[in-house]
A and B are shown apart, each in its own frame.
Chain A
């Protein structure tokens, strides 16, 4: 019982960074752009997120406003990087996979370089603390699992239905889905496909930036240039797990993180097999689960990865 509560209570905060980034990537891909550079944007977000409170008061406790500023800066620059990516793949029609790898290198490298210059050595910040919700957090089981987390955790899980609503119930979501599924059709009724794609990239970038900042400000509350450690790629993979649907993506992120928490807990309890196999668990589990959940891909963005231009027919 206690064990279960712990796993669940741990898995949820673990999932947030992945979830935010995946939702961002989902918007990119729904609009038809495949952004493998997520990792790089997260790195920049993580760095800038902690830079503000750090700069404000070298490590000393600082008022929360600086943290909020950090989050905002991370999102802003994330959006900016998204637009930069758009310039390459939407305007100049660069192949998206390779450009994504370029963006990933650029983001991770830049974050690391600037970090070395402005901060140096692995650096911790006070960050944003847990905020147990007064009454609710005392409810047995539910309380610790759902209501004793970091504010950003609540925010993220509120973002899931929001993302669903935006994607399926607002004009913008409609435009995004059309631009990713059949850009010509969208264009023929006056939707500016490439503009929509830029917007989606900005949103996706902002979310990826926020994901990074969550890591550096909320989860570990410190930064070093290796902070993202491949989470960006996992986030991209989770979009495929969720077939571009917010709820299924959330399911994937949670599945992964619960498996993570479980695996770590089991290691702690003592295992008589090499720990590497425990570490593999989350990665393997995601593949297996997806393999047995059949899906019609018809609902996905059919024009994913294809640049759009009215005149060019190929």
Chain B
């Protein structure tokens, strides 16, 4: 009885949500006179049609996972990091710098070195807001936003200054980008014909590490305590300030590493626009995934799916590129709302009782 009700209740709510999302998107598609069914079918089916597209989904899931993992570490420790965008940029710069500085080194040395550098670059950029919050009570929401812009400027400075591709000077027009990096820092492609690269393993490994850190070590325990109950943590003799800074450093390191992996795995040189909003999507993915690695991995795959599918619509259904954002926005809003409604025992209880009353009456008649 109750079991059967639970299933009914959930399915109905989810169907309502899907309907709402589709309708909201359809309204806009209709106004611009686009082919609604075509658009939706592209989003839903195309990304999974062939291995190339699945590959595209995965290469987006990789940085999303890594960044979301970092963000969830910070979030669990009570600091909201919307600075992943900037931290990622700094990671790219650091990794590229290393690759440019030691082109001669063998892969076994250079690749780890560059990835570490990336992590350190991001960590440094995460350290600043961490310290500002812990010591001077500067809201991370302010500092991280501002630091994103500063990082972006520093990024272009490096790419058109010290790191500019010599070819851009001699035979180009100084488009901000580094020269193609030595093969020694390339992450190998895994599946021929796709761009899937060994970053997948890195992401999975990091997911495991984060789980280990947060739920299996005393460090993780302290950080989570500091985040979940600052006063209680202080009372319990936990150095809250230290936890904040540590969390931001880790969070930044992850974002930086994501940047390094993106360079080594996909672009093989530093270009403008690599970060391309991953910092923000990372927040979404982290919360979608319930701030837990086990949730973040599927969440980032789903979000990658969403990005690729929506992006294909402009080519296959002829809708403007901006429609991508519209659909992502709607889906995010609807999903988070639905999840909270599903998780509301009070509502479920009330509905159940009404439902029972109805069915009982149903029986009597």
Which A residues have a C-beta under 8 Å from some C-beta of B?
A: 36, 40, 87-88, 92-95, 97-99, 101-114, 116-117, 225, 230, 233-234, 236-238, 240-241, 274, 276-277, 279-280, 283-284, 286-287, 290-292, 294-295, 297, 307, 309, 311-312
Contact = CB atoms under 8 A, between A and B. Distances in A.
Given A240-B142, A277-B157, A112 B149 contact: no
Interface string B126-148: 00000010001111011101110
A297 B136 CA distance: 12
B329 interface: yes
B31 interface: yes
Contacts of B157: 274, 276-277
B221 interface: no
Given A94-B340, A283-B149, A311-B346, A106 B326 contact: yes
Contact of A110 (B142, B154, B288, B326): B326
B137 A297 contact: yes
B149 A102 contact: no
Contacts of A110: 28, 322, 325-326, 329
A105 B147 contact: no
B153 A94 contact: no
A79 to B, nearest CB: 17
Contacts of A311: 346
Nearest to B17: A92
Given A105-B329, A107-B329, A92 B340 contact: yes
Interface string B147-183: 1011001101100010000000000000000000000
Contacts of A234: 145-146
Contacts of A287: 132, 138, 142-143, 146-147
Interface stretch (B42-50, B99-107, B331-339): B331-339
A225 B145 contact: no
Contacts of A40: 329
A95 B143 CA distance: 21
Interface of B: 28, 31-33, 80, 82, 132, 136-139, 141-143, 145-147, 149-150, 153-154, 156-157, 161, 280, 283-284, 287-288, 319-333, 336-341, 344, 346
A276 B153 contact: yes
Nearest to B140: A240
B337 A97 contact: no
A102 B139 contact: no
Given A93-B340, A102-B330, A111-B322, 15 more contacts: A92-B341, A98-B283, A98-B284, A102-B332, A102-B336, A103-B329, A103-B333, A106-B330, A109-B324, A109-B327, A110-B322, A237-B145, A240-B141, A276-B153, A312-B344
A44 to B, nearest CB: 11
17 contacts: A94-B339, A95-B340, A97-B283, A98-B288, A101-B332, A102-B284, A102-B329, A103-B329, A106-B325, A112-B322, A112-B325, A114-B28, A233-B82, A234-B145, A280-B149, A291-B136, A307-B340
Nearest to A243: B139
Contacts of B82: 36, 233
A131 to B, nearest CB: 32
Contacts of B145: 233-234, 236-237
Residues of B contacting A: mostly: helix
A294 B341 CA distance: 40
B328 A109 contact: yes
A97 B287 contact: yes
B42 to A, nearest CB: 16
B327 to A, nearest CB: 8
B329 A104 contact: yes
Given A241-B142, A290-B142, A294-B136, A113 B32 contact: yes
A122 B154 CA distance: 29
Given A95-B287, A98-B283, A274-B161, A116 B136 contact: no
Contacts of A108: 322, 325
B31 A117 contact: yes
Given A97-B287, A98-B284, A112-B325, A286 B320 contact: no
Closest CB pairs A-B (n = 5):
A109-B325, A106-B329, A112-B322, A102-B332, A105-B329
Contacts of A104: 329
A102 B287 CA distance: 12
Contacts of B341: 92-93
Contacts of A98: 283-284, 287-288, 332, 336
A106 B154 contact: no
Contacts of A277: 153, 157
Contact of B320 (A112, A240, A283, A294): A112
Nearest to A252: B142
A274 B329 CA distance: 37
B322 A116 contact: yes
A185 to B, nearest CB: 20
A91 to B, nearest CB: 8
- Chain A CB within 10 Å, residue with most, of B142, B149, B153: B142
Contacts of B137: 294-295, 297
